[in-house]
Structure 1
Amino acid sequence: MSSDEPTYHQRVAREKRELIVAAATALFLELGYDRTSLAKIAERSGVSKATLFKQFPTKAALFDAIVTESWSAADEGERPPAGDVVRGLGAMGRRYAELLRRPRMTDLFRIVIAELPRFPELAQAQFSNGKMPYFESVRGYLLAEQEAGTVQIEDVDLVATQFLGMISNYIFWPVLLVPGWEVDDERVALVVDEAVRTIAARYATTEVSHSG
Protein backbone atom coordinates (compact mmCIF):
# COMPACT_ATOMS: atom_id res chain seq x y z
CA MET A 1 0.00 0.00 0.00
CA SER A 2 2.78 2.41 0.88
CA SER A 3 4.18 2.24 -2.66
CA ASP A 4 0.89 3.65 -3.95
CA GLU A 5 0.88 6.67 -1.61
CA PRO A 6 3.18 8.93 -3.68
CA THR A 7 0.99 8.40 -6.74
CA TYR A 8 -2.10 9.23 -4.72
CA HIS A 9 -0.55 12.35 -3.22
CA GLN A 10 0.72 13.46 -6.61
CA ARG A 11 -2.77 13.05 -8.05
CA VAL A 12 -4.33 15.06 -5.24
CA ALA A 13 -1.71 17.79 -5.61
CA ARG A 14 -2.32 17.92 -9.36
CA GLU A 15 -6.07 18.15 -8.88
CA LYS A 16 -5.66 20.99 -6.39
CA ARG A 17 -3.28 22.75 -8.75
CA GLU A 18 -5.85 22.53 -11.54
CA LEU A 19 -8.53 23.95 -9.24
CA ILE A 20 -6.25 26.83 -8.26
CA VAL A 21 -5.32 27.67 -11.85
CA ALA A 22 -8.97 27.54 -12.98
CA ALA A 23 -10.10 29.73 -10.08
CA ALA A 24 -7.31 32.24 -10.66
CA THR A 25 -8.07 32.48 -14.37
CA ALA A 26 -11.77 33.09 -13.67
CA LEU A 27 -11.04 35.73 -11.01
CA PHE A 28 -8.48 37.53 -13.15
CA LEU A 29 -11.16 37.81 -15.85
CA GLU A 30 -13.90 38.89 -13.43
CA LEU A 31 -12.03 41.26 -11.13
CA GLY A 32 -8.79 42.02 -12.91
CA TYR A 33 -5.30 40.98 -11.92
CA ASP A 34 -4.77 43.77 -9.40
CA ARG A 35 -8.02 43.22 -7.46
CA THR A 36 -7.57 39.45 -7.26
CA SER A 37 -5.76 38.33 -4.13
CA LEU A 38 -4.29 34.93 -3.38
CA ALA A 39 -6.79 34.69 -0.50
CA LYS A 40 -9.69 35.11 -2.93
CA ILE A 41 -8.18 32.49 -5.21
CA ALA A 42 -7.85 30.06 -2.31
CA GLU A 43 -11.47 30.66 -1.34
CA ARG A 44 -12.78 30.23 -4.89
CA SER A 45 -10.74 27.09 -5.52
CA GLY A 46 -11.72 25.50 -2.22
CA VAL A 47 -8.17 24.90 -1.03
CA SER A 48 -6.47 26.23 2.06
CA LYS A 49 -4.24 29.29 1.89
CA ALA A 50 -1.34 27.13 3.04
CA THR A 51 -1.87 24.75 0.12
CA LEU A 52 -2.03 27.61 -2.36
CA PHE A 53 1.05 29.37 -0.96
CA LYS A 54 2.98 26.11 -1.03
CA GLN A 55 2.41 25.76 -4.79
CA PHE A 56 2.32 29.46 -5.67
CA PRO A 57 4.09 31.79 -3.21
CA THR A 58 3.20 34.88 -5.27
CA LYS A 59 0.49 35.98 -7.68
CA ALA A 60 3.13 36.44 -10.35
CA ALA A 61 4.20 32.81 -9.96
CA LEU A 62 0.58 31.75 -10.37
CA PHE A 63 0.17 33.81 -13.52
CA ASP A 64 3.36 32.30 -14.92
CA ALA A 65 1.87 28.87 -14.29
CA ILE A 66 -1.30 29.85 -16.15
CA VAL A 67 0.81 30.92 -19.12
CA THR A 68 2.95 27.80 -19.10
CA GLU A 69 0.00 25.45 -18.78
CA SER A 70 -2.01 27.29 -21.43
CA TRP A 71 0.81 26.80 -23.92
CA SER A 72 1.72 23.29 -22.87
CA ALA A 73 0.77 20.38 -25.09
CA ALA A 74 1.08 17.08 -23.29
CA ASP A 75 0.77 15.14 -26.51
CA GLU A 76 3.09 17.28 -28.62
CA GLY A 77 5.83 14.66 -28.72
CA GLU A 78 9.15 15.27 -30.39
CA ARG A 79 9.85 17.87 -33.04
CA PRO A 80 9.20 16.35 -36.49
CA PRO A 81 12.33 14.98 -38.17
CA ALA A 82 13.75 16.96 -41.07
CA GLY A 83 13.34 15.68 -44.60
CA ASP A 84 9.69 16.34 -45.44
CA VAL A 85 8.85 19.99 -44.93
CA VAL A 86 5.16 19.58 -45.81
CA ARG A 87 4.63 16.78 -43.34
CA GLY A 88 6.72 18.45 -40.63
CA LEU A 89 5.20 21.91 -40.90
CA GLY A 90 1.76 20.32 -41.14
CA ALA A 91 2.28 18.57 -37.80
CA MET A 92 3.56 21.74 -36.14
CA GLY A 93 0.79 23.85 -37.64
CA ARG A 94 -1.94 21.51 -36.44
CA ARG A 95 -0.40 21.46 -32.98
CA TYR A 96 -0.35 25.25 -32.94
CA ALA A 97 -3.97 25.43 -34.05
CA GLU A 98 -4.98 23.05 -31.26
CA LEU A 99 -3.20 25.23 -28.72
CA LEU A 100 -4.86 28.41 -29.95
CA ARG A 101 -8.31 26.84 -29.88
CA ARG A 102 -8.13 25.97 -26.20
CA PRO A 103 -10.63 28.08 -24.20
CA ARG A 104 -7.93 28.82 -21.63
CA MET A 105 -5.77 30.40 -24.36
CA THR A 106 -8.46 32.93 -25.20
CA ASP A 107 -8.89 33.70 -21.50
CA LEU A 108 -5.16 34.21 -21.11
CA PHE A 109 -4.93 36.75 -23.92
CA ARG A 110 -7.95 38.63 -22.59
CA ILE A 111 -6.30 38.95 -19.20
CA VAL A 112 -3.04 40.18 -20.72
CA ILE A 113 -4.76 42.72 -23.00
CA ALA A 114 -6.94 44.07 -20.18
CA GLU A 115 -4.05 44.48 -17.77
CA LEU A 116 -1.34 45.59 -20.20
CA PRO A 117 -1.38 49.31 -19.27
CA ARG A 118 -0.83 48.65 -15.55
CA PHE A 119 0.97 45.32 -15.59
CA PRO A 120 3.20 45.07 -18.66
CA GLU A 121 5.06 42.26 -16.93
CA LEU A 122 2.07 40.00 -17.63
CA ALA A 123 2.56 40.48 -21.34
CA GLN A 124 6.26 39.79 -20.93
CA ALA A 125 5.47 36.56 -19.09
CA GLN A 126 3.05 35.56 -21.84
CA PHE A 127 5.64 36.28 -24.51
CA SER A 128 8.65 34.75 -22.77
CA ASN A 129 7.02 31.69 -21.19
CA GLY A 130 4.36 31.00 -23.81
CA LYS A 131 4.73 32.28 -27.32
CA MET A 132 8.53 32.29 -27.58
CA PRO A 133 9.10 28.63 -26.65
CA TYR A 134 6.66 27.57 -29.37
CA PHE A 135 8.17 30.00 -31.83
CA GLU A 136 11.61 28.58 -31.05
CA SER A 137 10.37 25.05 -31.74
CA VAL A 138 9.21 26.11 -35.22
CA ARG A 139 12.40 28.07 -35.79
CA GLY A 140 14.50 25.06 -34.76
CA TYR A 141 12.54 22.81 -37.10
CA LEU A 142 13.09 25.17 -40.05
CA LEU A 143 16.81 25.34 -39.27
CA ALA A 144 16.92 21.54 -39.27
CA GLU A 145 15.20 21.46 -42.66
CA GLN A 146 17.68 24.01 -43.96
CA GLU A 147 20.54 21.89 -42.67
CA ALA A 148 19.02 18.92 -44.49
CA GLY A 149 18.87 20.93 -47.69
CA THR A 150 15.10 20.75 -48.12
CA VAL A 151 14.53 24.50 -47.78
CA GLN A 152 16.53 27.61 -48.51
CA ILE A 153 15.67 30.43 -46.12
CA GLU A 154 17.56 33.68 -45.56
CA ASP A 155 15.63 34.83 -42.49
CA VAL A 156 14.36 31.90 -40.44
CA ASP A 157 12.86 34.15 -37.75
CA LEU A 158 10.76 35.92 -40.36
CA VAL A 159 9.53 32.70 -41.95
CA ALA A 160 8.60 31.16 -38.60
CA THR A 161 6.66 34.33 -37.78
CA GLN A 162 4.92 34.28 -41.16
CA PHE A 163 3.92 30.65 -40.78
CA LEU A 164 2.46 31.03 -37.31
CA GLY A 165 0.83 34.32 -38.26
CA MET A 166 -1.03 32.80 -41.21
CA ILE A 167 -2.64 30.37 -38.77
CA SER A 168 -3.33 32.63 -35.81
CA ASN A 169 -4.64 35.53 -37.89
CA TYR A 170 -7.52 33.38 -39.12
CA ILE A 171 -8.37 30.99 -36.33
CA PHE A 172 -7.45 32.91 -33.17
CA TRP A 173 -7.55 36.70 -33.32
CA PRO A 174 -11.04 36.95 -34.85
CA VAL A 175 -12.37 34.60 -32.14
CA LEU A 176 -10.82 36.88 -29.53
CA LEU A 177 -12.10 40.11 -31.04
CA VAL A 178 -15.24 39.38 -33.08
CA PRO A 179 -18.37 38.18 -31.23
CA GLY A 180 -19.77 34.99 -32.71
CA TRP A 181 -16.76 34.21 -34.89
CA GLU A 182 -16.41 30.44 -35.19
CA VAL A 183 -14.03 28.27 -37.19
CA ASP A 184 -14.91 24.61 -37.62
CA ASP A 185 -12.44 21.73 -37.75
CA GLU A 186 -12.57 21.49 -41.54
CA ARG A 187 -11.73 25.16 -41.94
CA VAL A 188 -8.90 24.93 -39.42
CA ALA A 189 -7.38 22.04 -41.39
CA LEU A 190 -7.62 24.08 -44.59
CA VAL A 191 -6.00 27.13 -42.97
CA VAL A 192 -3.06 25.03 -41.74
CA ASP A 193 -2.65 23.23 -45.08
CA GLU A 194 -2.63 26.52 -46.99
CA ALA A 195 -0.03 28.00 -44.63
CA VAL A 196 2.16 24.93 -45.21
CA ARG A 197 1.71 25.13 -48.97
CA THR A 198 2.62 28.81 -48.98
CA ILE A 199 5.86 28.26 -47.08
CA ALA A 200 6.77 25.18 -49.12
CA ALA A 201 6.07 26.94 -52.43
CA ARG A 202 8.32 29.83 -51.47
CA TYR A 203 11.20 28.10 -49.70
CA ALA A 204 11.37 24.40 -50.59
CA THR A 205 14.45 23.57 -52.70
CA THR A 206 12.64 20.89 -54.72
CA GLU A 207 9.09 20.30 -55.80
CA VAL A 208 7.15 18.76 -52.92
CA SER A 209 3.88 16.92 -52.58
CA HIS A 210 1.04 19.14 -51.42
CA SER A 211 -1.07 16.35 -50.04
CA GLY A 212 -2.04 16.91 -46.38
Structure 2
Amino acid sequence: MLTAMSRGVTTYHQRIAREKRALIVTAATELFLELGYDRTSLARIAERSGVSRATLFKQFPSKAALFDAIVTESWSTEGEEDPPRPGNLVEGLGTIGRRYAELLRRAQMTDLFRIVIAELPRFPELAHAQFAHGKMPYFESVRGYLLAEQEAGTVRVEDVDLAATQFLGMISNYVFWPTLLVPGWEVSAERAAQVVDEAVRTIAARYAVTGPGASTND
Protein backbone atom coordinates (compact mmCIF):
# COMPACT_ATOMS: atom_id res chain seq x y z
CA MET A 1 0.00 0.00 0.00
CA LEU A 2 2.81 2.35 0.89
CA THR A 3 4.45 1.52 -2.42
CA ALA A 4 1.26 2.39 -4.29
CA MET A 5 0.97 5.64 -2.36
CA SER A 6 4.61 6.42 -3.13
CA ARG A 7 4.03 5.83 -6.83
CA GLY A 8 0.98 8.10 -6.69
CA VAL A 9 2.96 10.90 -5.07
CA THR A 10 5.78 10.48 -7.59
CA THR A 11 3.35 10.60 -10.51
CA TYR A 12 1.72 13.71 -9.08
CA HIS A 13 5.05 15.50 -8.72
CA GLN A 14 6.07 14.47 -12.24
CA ARG A 15 2.83 15.86 -13.63
CA ILE A 16 3.30 19.14 -11.77
CA ALA A 17 6.89 19.37 -13.03
CA ARG A 18 5.71 18.83 -16.63
CA GLU A 19 3.03 21.49 -16.24
CA LYS A 20 5.51 24.01 -14.84
CA ARG A 21 7.98 23.18 -17.60
CA ALA A 22 5.29 23.86 -20.22
CA LEU A 23 4.46 27.19 -18.58
CA ILE A 24 8.13 28.18 -18.59
CA VAL A 25 8.64 27.26 -22.24
CA THR A 26 5.49 29.14 -23.29
CA ALA A 27 6.47 32.25 -21.31
CA ALA A 28 10.02 32.18 -22.67
CA THR A 29 8.81 31.91 -26.26
CA GLU A 30 6.44 34.85 -25.78
CA LEU A 31 9.13 37.02 -24.20
CA PHE A 32 11.78 36.14 -26.78
CA LEU A 33 9.32 37.30 -29.45
CA GLU A 34 8.28 40.45 -27.57
CA LEU A 35 11.61 41.65 -26.17
CA GLY A 36 14.25 39.71 -28.03
CA TYR A 37 16.55 37.01 -26.71
CA ASP A 38 19.10 39.40 -25.21
CA ARG A 39 16.62 41.53 -23.24
CA THR A 40 14.76 38.55 -21.82
CA SER A 41 16.09 37.45 -18.45
CA LEU A 42 15.40 34.20 -16.65
CA ALA A 43 13.93 36.24 -13.81
CA ARG A 44 11.44 37.85 -16.19
CA ILE A 45 10.56 34.43 -17.59
CA ALA A 46 9.92 33.10 -14.09
CA GLU A 47 7.65 36.05 -13.36
CA ARG A 48 5.68 35.63 -16.62
CA SER A 49 5.29 31.87 -16.16
CA GLY A 50 4.22 32.15 -12.52
CA VAL A 51 6.90 29.84 -11.14
CA SER A 52 9.63 30.57 -8.63
CA ARG A 53 13.12 31.40 -9.78
CA ALA A 54 14.37 28.31 -7.96
CA THR A 55 11.97 26.12 -9.96
CA LEU A 56 13.04 27.70 -13.24
CA PHE A 57 16.77 27.41 -12.51
CA LYS A 58 16.30 23.79 -11.47
CA GLN A 59 14.87 22.93 -14.89
CA PHE A 60 16.82 25.43 -16.99
CA PRO A 61 20.14 26.71 -15.60
CA SER A 62 20.64 29.07 -18.56
CA LYS A 63 18.80 30.80 -21.39
CA ALA A 64 20.70 28.62 -23.84
CA ALA A 65 19.32 25.48 -22.17
CA LEU A 66 15.83 26.96 -22.28
CA PHE A 67 16.13 27.82 -25.97
CA ASP A 68 17.35 24.29 -26.69
CA ALA A 69 14.20 23.00 -24.98
CA ILE A 70 12.03 25.27 -27.14
CA VAL A 71 13.71 23.87 -30.26
CA THR A 72 13.38 20.26 -29.13
CA GLU A 73 9.73 20.60 -28.18
CA SER A 74 8.86 22.50 -31.36
CA TRP A 75 10.23 19.63 -33.44
CA SER A 76 8.79 16.82 -31.30
CA THR A 77 6.01 14.65 -32.71
CA GLU A 78 3.22 12.82 -30.94
CA GLY A 79 3.41 9.04 -30.77
CA GLU A 80 5.81 7.13 -32.96
CA GLU A 81 8.75 9.29 -34.02
CA ASP A 82 10.78 6.71 -35.92
CA PRO A 83 10.51 6.54 -39.71
CA PRO A 84 8.06 3.97 -41.09
CA ARG A 85 9.31 0.51 -41.95
CA PRO A 86 10.46 0.18 -45.56
CA GLY A 87 8.56 -1.75 -48.19
CA ASN A 88 5.85 0.65 -49.31
CA LEU A 89 7.35 3.92 -50.52
CA VAL A 90 4.09 5.80 -51.07
CA GLU A 91 2.69 4.84 -47.68
CA GLY A 92 5.95 5.51 -45.87
CA LEU A 93 6.59 8.88 -47.48
CA GLY A 94 2.96 9.81 -46.88
CA THR A 95 3.39 9.15 -43.17
CA ILE A 96 6.60 11.17 -43.01
CA GLY A 97 5.15 14.00 -45.10
CA ARG A 98 1.99 14.34 -43.02
CA ARG A 99 4.06 14.35 -39.85
CA TYR A 100 6.27 17.08 -41.28
CA ALA A 101 3.35 19.21 -42.47
CA GLU A 102 1.76 18.93 -39.04
CA LEU A 103 4.98 20.15 -37.42
CA LEU A 104 5.28 23.09 -39.80
CA ARG A 105 1.68 24.18 -39.25
CA ARG A 106 2.20 24.54 -35.50
CA ALA A 107 2.26 28.09 -34.18
CA GLN A 108 5.34 27.33 -32.06
CA MET A 109 7.30 26.36 -35.18
CA THR A 110 6.62 29.75 -36.77
CA ASP A 111 7.53 31.44 -33.47
CA LEU A 112 10.79 29.49 -33.30
CA PHE A 113 11.93 30.55 -36.75
CA ARG A 114 10.96 34.16 -36.11
CA ILE A 115 13.10 34.21 -32.98
CA VAL A 116 16.07 32.69 -34.81
CA ILE A 117 15.79 35.04 -37.80
CA ALA A 118 15.40 38.13 -35.62
CA GLU A 119 18.37 37.28 -33.40
CA LEU A 120 20.67 35.79 -36.04
CA PRO A 121 22.99 38.83 -36.41
CA ARG A 122 23.78 38.96 -32.68
CA PHE A 123 23.21 35.36 -31.60
CA PRO A 124 24.17 32.98 -34.43
CA GLU A 125 24.36 30.20 -31.85
CA LEU A 126 20.54 30.17 -31.79
CA ALA A 127 20.50 29.22 -35.46
CA HIS A 128 23.08 26.53 -34.80
CA ALA A 129 20.94 25.15 -31.98
CA GLN A 130 17.82 25.18 -34.16
CA PHE A 131 19.67 23.35 -36.92
CA ALA A 132 21.47 20.84 -34.70
CA HIS A 133 18.62 19.98 -32.33
CA GLY A 134 15.64 20.39 -34.65
CA LYS A 135 16.01 20.48 -38.41
CA MET A 136 18.99 18.14 -38.79
CA PRO A 137 17.66 15.24 -36.67
CA TYR A 138 14.41 15.32 -38.63
CA PHE A 139 16.29 15.44 -41.93
CA GLU A 140 18.42 12.49 -40.84
CA SER A 141 15.30 10.45 -40.06
CA VAL A 142 14.01 11.05 -43.61
CA ARG A 143 17.42 10.28 -45.08
CA GLY A 144 17.58 7.07 -43.07
CA TYR A 145 14.14 6.03 -44.29
CA LEU A 146 15.14 6.53 -47.94
CA LEU A 147 18.31 4.52 -47.39
CA ALA A 148 16.22 1.72 -45.88
CA GLU A 149 13.89 1.79 -48.90
CA GLN A 150 16.90 1.64 -51.21
CA GLU A 151 18.25 -1.35 -49.34
CA ALA A 152 14.81 -2.96 -49.65
CA GLY A 153 14.97 -2.45 -53.40
CA THR A 154 11.96 -0.14 -53.69
CA VAL A 155 13.91 2.94 -54.81
CA ARG A 156 17.06 3.80 -56.72
CA VAL A 157 18.58 7.02 -55.37
CA GLU A 158 22.06 8.22 -56.28
CA ASP A 159 22.02 11.22 -53.92
CA VAL A 160 19.94 10.47 -50.83
CA ASP A 161 20.68 13.85 -49.23
CA LEU A 162 19.30 15.61 -52.29
CA ALA A 163 16.22 13.37 -52.46
CA ALA A 164 15.39 14.02 -48.79
CA THR A 165 15.87 17.75 -49.31
CA GLN A 166 13.64 17.69 -52.39
CA PHE A 167 10.84 15.94 -50.53
CA LEU A 168 10.90 18.15 -47.44
CA GLY A 169 11.37 21.26 -49.55
CA MET A 170 8.28 20.61 -51.65
CA ILE A 171 6.23 20.54 -48.45
CA SER A 172 7.84 23.40 -46.53
CA ASN A 173 7.94 25.76 -49.50
CA TYR A 174 4.15 25.77 -49.61
CA VAL A 175 3.06 24.94 -46.06
CA PHE A 176 5.57 26.90 -43.99
CA TRP A 177 7.81 29.56 -45.54
CA PRO A 178 5.05 31.83 -46.89
CA THR A 179 3.66 32.16 -43.34
CA LEU A 180 6.82 34.07 -42.41
CA LEU A 181 6.64 36.39 -45.41
CA VAL A 182 3.05 36.74 -46.58
CA PRO A 183 0.55 38.39 -44.18
CA GLY A 184 -2.55 36.27 -43.74
CA TRP A 185 -1.11 33.20 -45.47
CA GLU A 186 -2.91 30.16 -44.11
CA VAL A 187 -2.86 26.54 -45.23
CA SER A 188 -5.80 24.33 -44.28
CA ALA A 189 -5.31 20.73 -43.16
CA GLU A 190 -6.93 19.60 -46.41
CA ARG A 191 -4.60 21.71 -48.53
CA ALA A 192 -1.56 20.52 -46.56
CA ALA A 193 -2.60 16.91 -47.17
CA GLN A 194 -2.85 17.63 -50.89
CA VAL A 195 0.62 19.18 -50.90
CA VAL A 196 2.03 16.10 -49.17
CA ASP A 197 0.32 13.73 -51.60
CA GLU A 198 1.75 15.61 -54.58
CA ALA A 199 5.24 15.59 -53.05
CA VAL A 200 4.98 11.82 -52.52
CA ARG A 201 3.89 11.29 -56.11
CA THR A 202 6.77 13.39 -57.41
CA ILE A 203 9.40 11.52 -55.39
CA ALA A 204 7.89 8.15 -56.28
CA ALA A 205 7.82 9.05 -59.98
CA ARG A 206 11.49 10.04 -59.86
CA TYR A 207 12.98 7.33 -57.65
CA ALA A 208 10.64 4.33 -57.27
CA VAL A 209 11.67 1.02 -58.81
CA THR A 210 8.85 -0.44 -60.89
CA GLY A 211 10.40 -3.78 -61.61
CA PRO A 212 13.54 -5.90 -61.00
CA GLY A 213 16.43 -3.55 -61.69
CA ALA A 214 14.22 -1.00 -63.43
CA SER A 215 13.44 2.55 -62.31
CA THR A 216 10.50 4.70 -63.35
CA ASN A 217 12.97 7.21 -64.81
CA ASP A 218 14.77 4.67 -67.00
Q: TM-score, normalised by structure 1?
A: 0.96
Paired residues, what number? 207
1:59 to 1:77, Cα distance in 2 relative to 1, 3 A? closer
| One-letter amino acid of the structure 2 residue matched with residue 151 of structure 1 | V
In the other structure, the counterpart of 1:27 is 31
Provide the alpha-carbon RMSD of the alignment: 0.9
Q: Contact (CA 8 Å) 1:100, 1:106: kept in 2 or not?
A: yes
Q: Contact (CA 8 Å) 1:76, 1:95: kept in 2 or not?
A: no
In the other structure, the counterpart of 2:160 is 156
1:48 to 38, 41, 52: 52
In the other structure, the counterpart of 1:170 is 174
* Larger displacement relative to structure 2 (1-10 or 63-72): 1-10
Alpha-carbon distance between aligned partners in 2 of 1:107 and 1:79, rounded to the nearest angstrom:
26
Q: Does 1:8 align with 2:12?
A: yes
In the other structure, the counterpart of 1:118 is 122
Moved over 3 A (4+): none
Alpha-carbon distance between aligned partners in 1 of 2:104 and 2:159, rounded to the nearest angstrom:
25
Q: Contact (CA 8 Å) 2:36, 2:115: kept in 1 or not?
A: yes
2:201 to 197, 200, 206: 197
Q: Contact (CA 8 Å) 2:82, 2:141: kept in 1 or not?
A: no
In the other structure, the counterpart of 1:95 is 99
Alpha-carbon distance between aligned partners in 2 of 1:38 and 1:48, rounded to the nearest angstrom:
11
| One-letter amino acid of the structure 2 residue matched with residue 203 of structure 1 | Y
Q: Does 1:179 align with 2:183?
A: yes
- Identity across matched positions, percent: 81
In the other structure, the counterpart of 1:210 is none
Alpha-carbon distance between aligned partners in 2 of 1:191 and 1:74, rounded to the nearest angstrom:
21
The structure that has the greater radius of gyration is 2
In structure 2, list runs of 5 or more residues that go unmatched.
212-218
Q: Contact (CA 8 Å) 1:149, 1:205: kept in 2 or not?
A: yes
* Larger displacement relative to structure 2 (120-129 or 179-188): 179-188
Give the 3-state SS of the residue equivalent to 2:141 in structure 1: helix
Alpha-carbon distance between aligned partners in 2 of 1:24 and 1:176, rounded to the nearest angstrom:
20
| One-letter amino acid of the structure 1 residue matched with residue 192 of structure 2 | V
Q: Does 1:129 align with 2:133?
A: yes
1:86 to 58, 77, 90: 90
Offset, 1:75: 1.8
Alpha-carbon distance between aligned partners in 2 of 1:33 and 1:76, rounded to the nearest angstrom:
32
In the other structure, the counterpart of 2:214 is none
* Larger displacement relative to structure 2 (177-186 or 144-153): 177-186
Q: TM-score, normalised by structure 2?
A: 0.93
Offset, 1:77: 4.1
Offset, 1:184: 1.1
Q: Does 1:140 align with 2:144?
A: yes
Deviations 1:110-129 (A, max 9, x none): 00000000000000000000
| One-letter amino acid of the structure 2 residue matched with residue 101 of structure 1 | R
| One-letter amino acid of the structure 1 residue matched with residue 110 of structure 2 | T
